[in-house]
Amino acid sequence: MTPADAVALKSPADLDLMRASGRVAALAMREIVKAIAPGIETGALDTIAETFIRDLGGVPSFKNYRGYPASICTSINDEVVHGIPGSRVLQRGDVVSIDLGVYLHGFHVDVAETVPVGEVSARVRLLLDVTTRALAAGIAQATVGATLGDVGWAIQALVEAAGFSCVRDFAGHGIGRALHEEPQVPNLGQRHTGVRLTPGMTLAIEPMVNMGSADVYIAGDGWTVRTRDRSVSAHAEHTVAVAPDGPEVLTGLDRVGDHILKSRG
């Protein structure tokens, strides 16, 4: 278990810088989601992301991180996370998870969203909705005095009540000057257990939810994580600051971000 004193706390000035990174990440995600349609190659989405992030002064956090070859992750259908963009074409009825990071002013942020490509089945729509609501439930628990077990418990309870499963082999994480910091943020847990949350902690909370079994494996490319039973998976993520007056989502859109987008033309 990670001791609380091993977690890097962020100052108010640090959080201001992370808010700037978060705005760029949120705007980049919006650009990518607008481009998702049947017939587009995942590599084209990667180009959109990198161009947009760099135009706003940032650097894609993922590119060359531990050898990862792209700026975003594009994970399709039974791919959970870390799918590599390239020549694969999105088809009507697919779902694609977009995961991206931005490094700006010395700090990283991380955000993810799973998007349907055209019409999908009612069961898949439910999976996407549950994953989004599970993220919101986890964020709501990221309050001063709560624990990481509270965050994981909230996610797990909502997901399993809907008949889906939380991936256990991968988790969220602390984030800040490094893309991955302590502590790990599992998507399951017991209430009132684990690291106690204090002001200045910044966490990437990211439910990974499978329609079937929680079991996953890493594909032959060494990166892409897939469901073992080939069931569809969804992923949602925000970078969140633990603050005295409640959790603050750092990777959400706001008026300042909209202004940046408009000024870009």
- Residue 128 has a pLDDT of 98
In the predicted structure, residue 243 carries a pLDDT above the cut 70: yes
In the predicted structure, residue 2 carries a pLDDT above the cut 70: no
Nearest CA among 111, 132, 131, 234 for reference residue 175: 111
Cβ(206)–Cβ(159) below 8 Å:
no
- Residue 253 has a pLDDT of 80
Between CA 135 and CA 141, with CA 140 as vertex, the angle to 5 degrees is 105
- Residue 6 has a pLDDT of 84
In the predicted structure, residue 258 carries a pLDDT above the cut 50: no
> Which residues lie closer than 8 Å to 47 by C-beta, 6 or more apart?
none
In the predicted structure, residue 1 carries a pLDDT above the cut 80: no
**pLDDT, tens digit, for every residue of 26-81?**
999 999 999 999 999 999 999 999 999 999 999 999 999 999 999 999 999 999 99
**pLDDT, tens digit, for every residue of 88-106?**
999 999 999 999 999 999 9
- Residue 256 has a pLDDT of 42
**In angstroms, rounded to a whole number, what is the distance separating the alpha carbons of residues 236 and 99?**
8
Q: Which domains does the chain have, with CATH numbers?
A: 4-264 (3.90.230.10)
Q: What is the dihedral angle through the alpha carbons of 146, 149, 155, 157, rounded to the nearest 10 degrees? A: -110
In the predicted structure, residue 264 carries a pLDDT above the cut 90: no
Cβ(80)–Cβ(167) below 8 Å:
yes
**pLDDT, tens digit, for every residue of 130-161?**
999 999 999 999 999 999 999 999 999 999 99
Cβ(45)–Cβ(98) below 8 Å:
yes
- Residue 4 has a pLDDT of 59
Helices (H), 89-175: 122-140, 148-161
Per-residue pLDDT band at 8 (split at 50, 70, 90): very high
**Sequence letter at residue 158:** L
Cβ(95)–Cβ(83) below 8 Å:
no
**In angstroms, rounded to a whole number, what is the distance separating the alpha carbons of residues 258 and 243?**
24
